[in-house]
Structure 1
Amino acid sequence: MLMLWLALAALPLPASGFSFEDVIDKARALADESYQAPTPIPAFLRELTYEQYQGIRFKSENSLWIKSDARFQVMLMSPGLYFKHPVVLHEVDAEGVRPITYNKTDYSYTNEELAKRIPADLGHGGFKLTYPLQGPDSRNQFLVFAGASYFRAVGRDNSFGLSARGVAVNTGLPSGEQFPSFTEFWLVRPDAKSETMTVYALLDGRSLTGAYRFDVRTGDNTVMDVQSRLFIRSDIEKLGIAPLTSMFFYGGNTARPRGEWRPRVHDSGGLLVHNGVSGEWLWRPLLNPKSLKLDYFQTESVQGFGLMQRQTNFEDFQDYGANYHRRPSAWVKPKGDWGKGRVVLVQLPTNNETNDNIVAFWTPDEPVREGQSLSFDYSLKVGGPSVSGGDRARAERTFVGDGNRVGGGTVEGAYRVIVDFAGGPLKDLSADAPVTSAVTAGGDAEVIEHFVEFLSPVNRWRLSILAKPAEGQPLALRAFLKNEEEAVSETWSYDIPADNDILGEAR
């Protein structure tokens, strides 16, 4: 009996019974109350410039578990600039749950006058997780929770780029988007050898509340197993599950803005969708449209979707400051059957690279009504472009040009479209393999020609398409490669808006 007692005593103690159910209960009760927007921070902090906010720096020696041997450490963040209201932070361990108090001396300030004005009870703006990714003595930031329901992650070799969110509400609708916020977090202290850390979060918004559990592990990629429970306060026209937000200014498939010398500028190059019923892997290169553009991809039992950065060489961007070639890809993989729904791609116009203008999420076909309780569990993997696990040849590059000039063709009003495929079943084929293309156009558009050739210098297969849209209409194309009669590539899907700069003038 004594040996049994000693063995039990050596096990970690439960945190006073605290669990995900406590967060769920809190979210459920909150949904029965009228919405109260978070109290904003003082105006002078909301109006800081980016440089001024960067001058408020958390001292790493004050990290939450710095005196322990835990691989995971927590750096705190000040409110300010984009982070316009404080959040409540708790630490959870074997001794119970206790608040993580704010202390302005945990920070250094490059502007002493600004430091004097910061209230002693300002509160936390968010937090960053660190882990020894680059060696046992390193503390590398790999996950940040800050701003509404946003969070950002990277893998071992990435720079920060795209963001994820807890939820999206009415994104892209004329009624205006709502931005629910994570208002409270519980950080579960891991032991020294743990490779997983758990974070709980409470979400509050005008039309819904939510409880979230994130089980986080990192390495070459960062993987988060996410459990979400949503409680609907009022009808929602378009509910976005597992939203991803990114930036696309221009790429190889678009005209380069006047004066720009870099070949591409984007955090993500395309949307990838894996449909559960058909098994199709669909690739949609991104655009910077002249006006709001919404695309819907119907799915039944969706198997995954994500925003991907497939150009990973410095030469693709030539920007040593922004390091766009190191920006991560992100892949959402549902757990269980989410049912019928659509992956939505929202693309907004932007005239620079500082605005996130791309959003992708899954939305259910069934209406979302007041009083409903919804559950969506999924994994989110962030890292290199292989995070999707797809086994088809990938559409690596898309180029679009005039179909009525040397190298393009001799058809006025047509477009020459080039798509390079590589990897998957194409990888080991000989140059004379019978690879052909299947190409279709939507509406009254005409596919004039298409053919495939092997590019031996780069070991890629190039699909060349000459197509012409109907007068004043966009050009919608779909294509994939076949080896004899077997599909060997993703389905490349592309939409050239009628109003574009590719032919030298708006059409």
Structure 2
Amino acid sequence: MVTRRDLITYTSFSMVLSALGFTPAVFAAQGLKLGTDTPFSFEGLIQQAKESAKSPYVAPQQVPDSAVASINYDIYSKVMYKPEYALFNEGVSRFPVTFFSVSNLHKLPVKMAVVENKRAREIIQNADYFIFPDNSQGALSAVKGNVFSGFRVLEHRQPLNKPPVKDWVSFLGASYFRAVGELGQFGVSARGVAINTVFGDTKEEFPDFTQFWFESPEKDSDRLVVYALLDGPSVCGAYRFDLQRTQGVVMDVDCVLFLRRDVGRLGIAPQTSMFWFSEMAKGSASDWRPEVHDSDGLAVLTGSDEHIWRPLNNPLQIRVSAFSDNNPRGFGLMQKQRDPESYLGSAGYERRPDLWVEPKGDWGKGSVQLIEIPTDDEIFDNIVAMWVPEHEAKAGSEHQFSYRMHWLADEPYPSTLARCGITRLGRGGNPGAYTDPAARKFMVEFHGDVLEQLPADAHIDAVVSASRGTLKDIKVNKLPSDKGHWRTFFDLHVDGKEPVELRLYLKSGDKTLSETWMYQYLPFTSSPKPLQGV
């Protein structure tokens, strides 16, 4: 609570500092040491990135290993940033900014600066801004130079001598960042750009955000504008993030990329998540929980207004799927299963956010690409989704993209048609007649108002197609316990080990009733062995 004395003191100091060329918003960072001011604008940052891309890449210098040797994962989780040094912790802003220290996991220091009236002042970094447990900072306190590895935006101002305030956005490591959804949980991550992710024998690159600029916010604003410079061996880029705290988090992103060399797979608005297993296809005795994943499917809204739902796989080998499109309207990794019993209270997976990317302007032709990488544990992010433009990404080329990111509990623009629900797999055939051990039965649920209005004897057709194999026993029926849910069953008979691309939607006459379910069936990972008699 701000007292009258606080207000008078703040106002008096603001008047004095304004006369000296400082403003109230910069005064909000008075605990931090700031450098001299220099001109700043997004246009200038774009020009800086363009000029830098003309020169050979020079890797930024990391802090010495000896300086962070004692700051391991366990210690790092206990390091606290002192609230008296929080950026915007006083004054007009609702959302203070605090910083992460370098560690033996994140050795690259990142420059930070405050922007006011198109003038930027760099934050002079110091290990004294942090509280390290058991004096674990060791040699870091002797480092002369930058020691911040990233930042977080807090939900509200941080009182002194109180427990840390929860954050709603964080940027940490390479070009990774994440935000909470409306259920208050972190999960899926995003990146500034993806370079050659799973592209032949080409090694993937992870460009870094090497500097951030924080624009002084307006009074009581629910927004925070952050600028970033991205640099890597193949690319240099300028970013503008308009972060807004809503029921979840909304980010408006503008980026301009300049390529130093050819890129085989240029991933725009990439997302990274974890999918180990679900109840749909769980390996025997792999884990005691029914499901473990941050996301369970990819949703796409095409330029022709088709809603697509694609459940995720944990394959035995890397799989890349491409959904070709022209000017997509949106895509994202979603957590559709929200029942806590599906995860048995583990890690809050039912509260993981959905991340929806909404393109702005003309993105042209390309594809939403989904990359699924094998994993045998929940600690690895093995799922990537991104937009890959059709045109080649050549050295010397420039690429501009604008988009909005929605971190929510569902798609921001859900289909008015029936939506895909649970997918189940089992042995093909019927009890007592499992004659083909390679056959698989699929059950896909659909739900929504358009189905709720139909009687149980309504004639609904399931339009099913497979890239290979034979489809049999296609049925659609209504769940007796829920008038808004219908189930589709079909058997797939297929030989060989190559993937099968499946596609399904519901219709009645000429009227489409549902969004489109798509799935990549992997026979060599999913086919059951024949049962042996006892």
Q: If the length of structure 2 is used for normalisation, what is the TM-score?
A: 0.86
Match of 1:302 in 2: 328
Shift of 1:192: 2.5
Partner amino acid for 1:78?
S
Deviations 1:401-435 (A, max 9, x none): 22156399543310011111122533444434333
Match of 1:127 in 2: 151
Shift of 1:82: 3.6
> Is 2:153 the partner of 1:153?
no
Shift of 1:150: 0.5
> Is 2:43 the partner of 1:21?
yes
Task: Work out which of the residue numbers 209, 215, 218 in structure 1 matches 2:236.
Answer: 209
Match of 1:314 in 2: 340
Deviations 1:119-146 (A, max 9, x none): 443521000012349xxx9954111111
Conserved 8 A contact 1:212-1:229: yes
Q: Which stretch of the first structure deviates more once superposed, 235-244 or 381-390? A: 381-390
Q: Distance in 2 between matches of 1:284 and 1:55?
A: 39
Task: Work out which of the residue numbers 45, 52, 60 in structure 2 matches 1:30.
Answer: 52
> Is 2:212 the partner of 1:185?
yes
Partner amino acid for 1:227?
D
Match of 1:218 in 2: 245
Q: Distance in 1 between matches of 2:94 and 2:370?
A: 37
Shift of 1:49: 3.8
Give the SS at the match of 1:230: strand
Match of 2:30 in 1: none
Match of 2:359 in 1: 334
Matches within 5 A, 1:266-415: 266-276=293-303, 278-320=304-346, 322-404=347-429, 406=431, 410-415=435-440
Q: Distance in 2 between matches of 1:325 and 1:477?
A: 27
Give the SS at the match of 2:94: coil
Conserved 8 A contact 2:25-2:217: no
Match of 1:418 in 2: 443
Give the SS at the match of 2:450: helix
Q: Distance in 1 between matches of 2:459 and 2:395?
A: 56
Give the SS at the match of 1:100: strand
Conserved 8 A contact 2:429-2:491: no
Give the SS at the match of 2:524: coil
Conserved 8 A contact 2:420-2:447: yes
Larger radius of gyration: 2
Q: Distance in 2 between matches of 1:20 and 1:212?
A: 8
| Cα distance, 1:33–1:191 mapped onto 2, change above 3 Å | same
Q: Distance in 1 between matches of 2:153 and 2:281?
A: 37
> Is 2:268 the partner of 1:241?
yes
Deviations 1:273-331 (A, max 9, x none): 1110x3211111111110111111111111111000011121121134x0000000001
Partner amino acid for 2:62?
P
Q: Percent same amino acid at aligned positions?
A: 37
Partner amino acid for 1:312?
R
| Cα distance, 1:408–1:494 mapped onto 2, change above 3 Å | farther
Conserved 8 A contact 2:38-2:121: no
| Cα distance, 1:60–1:394 mapped onto 2, change above 3 Å | farther
Match of 1:3 in 2: none
Task: Work out which of the residue numbers 82, 87, 102 in structure 2 matches 1:79.
Answer: 102
Shift of 1:115: 4.0
Task: Work out which of the residue numbers 57, 64, 89 in structure 1 matches 2:80.
Answer: 57
Give the SS at the match of 1:499: helix
> Is 2:490 the partner of 1:465?
yes
Task: Work out which of the residue numbers 103, 108, 126 in structure 1 matches 2:131.
Answer: 108
| Cα distance, 1:303–1:29 mapped onto 2, change above 3 Å | same
Task: Work out which of the residue numbers 469, 474, 483 in structure 1 matches 2:508.
Answer: 483
Give the SS at the match of 1:52: helix
Partner amino acid for 1:56?
V
Q: Distance in 2 between matches of 1:398 and 1:407?
A: 23
Q: Distance in 2 between matches of 1:40 and 1:408?
A: 64
Give the SS at the match of 2:229: strand
Shift of 1:449: 1.9
Shift of 1:43: 2.2
Shift of 1:332: 0.6
Q: How many residues align?
A: 490
Conserved 8 A contact 1:401-1:502: no
Gaps of 5+ in 1: 1-8
Q: Distance in 1 between matches of 2:352 and 2:104?
A: 23
Shift of 1:484: 3.4
Conserved 8 A contact 2:422-2:444: yes
Conserved 8 A contact 1:306-1:360: yes
Give the SS at the match of 1:385: coil
Match of 1:5 in 2: none
| Cα distance, 1:370–1:424 mapped onto 2, change above 3 Å | farther
Q: Distance in 1 between matches of 2:203 and 2:38?
A: 42
Conserved 8 A contact 2:331-2:358: yes
Give the SS at the match of 1:425: helix
Matches within 5 A, 1:6-17: none
Match of 2:528 in 1: 503
| Cα distance, 1:250–1:388 mapped onto 2, change above 3 Å | farther
Q: Distance in 1 between matches of 2:267 and 2:118?
A: 37
Shift of 1:62: 3.0
Partner amino acid for 1:189?
S
Deviations 1:140-191 (A, max 9, x none): 4111111101000112323111100000010011211111111011011212
Match of 1:493 in 2: 518
Conserved 8 A contact 1:424-1:488: no
Give the SS at the match of 2:525: coil
Q: Distance in 2 between matches of 1:488 and 1:407?
A: 34
Conserved 8 A contact 2:89-2:95: no
Conserved 8 A contact 1:46-1:83: no
Shift of 1:96: 2.7
Give the SS at the match of 1:125: strand
Partner amino acid for 1:123?
V
Q: Distance in 1 between matches of 2:49 and 2:457?
A: 61
Deviations 1:448-487 (A, max 9, x none): 1211111132442111111112333333211011133311
| Cα distance, 1:47–1:110 mapped onto 2, change above 3 Å | closer
Shift of 1:350: 0.6
When the two chains are superposed, the root-mean-square deviation of aligned CA atoms in Å is 2.6
Partner amino acid for 2:121?
R
| Cα distance, 1:501–1:442 mapped onto 2, change above 3 Å | closer
| Cα distance, 1:115–1:57 mapped onto 2, change above 3 Å | farther
Give the SS at the match of 2:496: coil
